[in-house]
Structure 1
Amino acid sequence: MRRFVCYARKLDKGGVSGIAFDYLARFFIGQAVDKECWNSFLNLNALKGLLNLEFRVNPDEYSKLVGRYISYLSNIMEFVYSDVAKKIDMLIDKVSNRIEWKAYEDFLEKLSKSNYKYDFDTSNLITYAVYFAKLEMIYRSKVIPEDINELTNLDMEQFNDLAQMCNTFFKNFFDSGLVTQKSDVVYNPTFGKVGYLVGGADADIYIDGVLYDFKSTKTNAYKWQDFGQIISYYLF
């Protein structure tokens, strides 16, 4: 059977930034809360996008993309579990595929070293989030960039924008006390059968009884599409 691959000249930069910020919010909240923090980094749409590439790109290129995902995910696990009070052993029952399992093994190997010391640069999370965001765009759109290297390139303007967005996020969600160690969080909540009727709708995050949907935009104004999306979540 012949395979057809749909290419895009470039991934939408604004779309990548929006999804990347969603991932950053997940990782920061996952690190801050106690309950089910593994849901902040397991079974991501980014992984589904990566798996979609297996037979669509050169095998050597795919192997490198998988290796990068494993390395990044292992580091994210280290960040989320940097609070020693969290029970790492519970994570073993949550890993569901070989790629996540390899990241988990790498994470445990890192912790087992006698000279291990937590020394994590949180700015690296932006690099990880952008990579994951590009993979998620592939999962959602079913198209890949003509230049596969675009998946691993990082635009510094985009990096700086995301860093500023993180500062705003911290002020509004952490400094304000909105997110606490005991918060109940659902990542990417879905809407059951109703959601599937409209193509599998999912929101960004649900914290202590409130649904939040993050939007990144160049213009500080309401858009009908965004307003309509929020209303549809309420109706669902």
Structure 2
Amino acid sequence: MSLTSIINCKYTLPKIKHLVSKENVNTDTQNLIIKPKCQNRQWLGVAFDYILRFGLIARGYAEESNIIAQKGLNRLMHLERLKDRKGNAVYGNNTISRVRGKIVIKERSPLFIHRSHIVDNATNSILIERYINSLLTLHQLQPSPTLSAKEAKAVFVLSNFDKFYRDILADFGDSLDMPTKEQIRELQELYKVIPWHDFKPKNSIILNPTFNKGSELIGGADCDLIVDDCIVEIKTVQTKSVSIRDLRQLCGYYILAKEFGISNYSSNINNIAVYHSRSGILSKYSVKDVLNPKHEKEFLVALVGKNYLSDVKEIKLPI
């Protein structure tokens, strides 16, 4: 379960929705320069996340790092899934399905279980070849304001593999999907309007940072970028302004960073930001203007639970 899912679930949201406020920040409506035209916008959004990261690397703003797509490929290559007669995925004694966009877990019947989607050697070879060719293409990316169709196709391929790390219900057939001309064209348009100078760091950029033990407690939580002292989330959505949900998500990452630290990064976080890719605008806010420091512990308890904090307190007590 992602940080966003945890924050917006019926158990957590009532505890934190009053802690984050938009009152002291400017979240005015932005013009959509690039309006959505193609299908499967979520896939487009993940592809854009990847191309922005590779664009930062091409400009020397960030260093190469491990990508989630590689973890997804590894998982996919060893995939052996069990399903019940209704097609629901089986894990242990439970079935897992998706109902109206939400994951539903139920106790399973012991009958009618079969193996499904075992990737054979021939398919493995195809997937590995696509992955390697995509990486080779993107490692040659130049700091140009435009994106070729080949480069665009490469990040769509990587985003296919990304899905298999983040979504336990991803369908194997999705890994072989290729983008349409319309999807490639829309990604190229989004790339053209990126204000690269707004992402140029004074010190460093971290790609897909994690939060040590905090990420383990929140289902492997990782944010998109950290630019100097600012956590950045990339949004490729139709909404024309930064939402309270966006700010809650960013404050969640801030809380994890403050409590558990950031893997391979020592700077403190003072700011949060949303890059609205369809508007080409990076909206930046001071954390203290959105989340009162007095409420930070309450937010942390809502995310990780009192039991964890009690354990930490016990450990820190002098003998």
Q: Letter of the aligned partner of 1:188 in structure 2? A: N
Shift of 1:199: 0.9
Q: 1:228, CA displacement in angstroms?
A: 1.6
CA contact (8 A) 2:224 2:232 kept: yes
Match of 1:51 among 74, 85, 88: 74
Q: Which amino acid aligns with 2:127?
A: L
**Does 2:153 correspond to 1:133?**
no
Rounded to whole Å, the distance in 2 between the matches of 1:76 and 1:163 is 14
Are residue 155 (structure 1) and residue 166 (structure 2) matched?
Answer: no
Q: Provide the secondary structure at the position in 2 that maps to 1:53.
A: helix
**Aligned residues of 1:135 and 1:151 also touching (Cα < 8 A):** no
1:62 to 118, 124, 137: 124
- CA shift, 1:216, in A, is 0.8
Q: Specify the code of the residue in structure 2 equivalent to 1:156.
A: K
Q: Distance in 2 between matches of 1:69 and 1:27?
A: 15
Give the whole-Å Cα distance in 1 for the aligned partners of 2:46 and 2:203: 23
Q: CA deviation at 1:221?
A: 3.5
C-alpha distance after superposition, 1:13-71 (max 9, x if no partner): 22211111111011110011166x222xxx21111111112133232111111011111
Corresponding residue for 1:18? Answer: 45
Higher strand share: 2
Q: Which residue matches 2:200?
A: 179
Q: Which has the higher contact order (CA 8 A, sep 6+)?
A: 1
Paired with 1:59 and 1:26, the residues of 2 have a C-alpha distance of: 31
More helix by share: 1
Cα 1:124–1:60 shift into 2, 3 Å: same
Describe the superposition over 1:155-183 as per-residue Cα deviations: whole angstroms up to 9, x where unpaired: 222222211211221xx223x5x426x75
* Inter-partner Cα distance in structure 2 for 1:123 and 1:203: 27
- SS of 1:15's equivalent? helix
Percent identity over the alignment? 25
Contact 1:47 1:135 in 2 (8 A): yes
**Whole-angstrom CA distance in 2 between matches of 1:216 and 1:165:** 9
Q: Determine if contact 2:45/2:235 at 8 Å carries over to the other structure.
A: yes
* AA of the residue aligned to 1:74: L
Which one of 239, 246, 250 corresponds to residue 219 of structure 1?
239
Aligned equivalents of 1:183 and 1:124: distance in 2? 32
For 2:223, what is the secondary structure of its paired residue? coil
Give aligned pairs, total.
177
Structure 1: how far apart are the matches of 2:150 and 2:235?
22
State the structure with more CA Rg: 2
Which structure 2 residues correspond to residues 168-207 of structure 1 after superposition, within 5 A?
Answer: 168-169=193-194, 172-174=195-197, 178-179=199-200, 184-207=204-227
User: Which of 154, 171, 176 matches 1:145?
Assistant: 171
After superposition, where does 1:71-150 map in structure 2 within 5 Å?
71-79=133-141, 122-145=148-171, 147=173
Q: What is the CA–CA distance in structure 1 between the aligned matches of 2:211 and 2:168, rounded to whole Å?
A: 23
Q: Is the 8 A contact 2:147 2:191 kept in 1?
A: no
Q: Deviations over 1:96-155 (max 9, x none)?
A: xxxxxxxxxxxxxxxxxxxxxxxx97442211111111110111112343635x634112
Scaled by the length of structure 1, the TM-score of the pair is: 0.66
Larger mean Cα displacement after TM superposition, 136-145 or 20-29: 136-145
Cα 1:58/1:121, change in 2 over 3 Å: same
For 1:219 and 1:235, locate their aligned partners in 2 and report how far apart those are by CA, in whole Å.
25
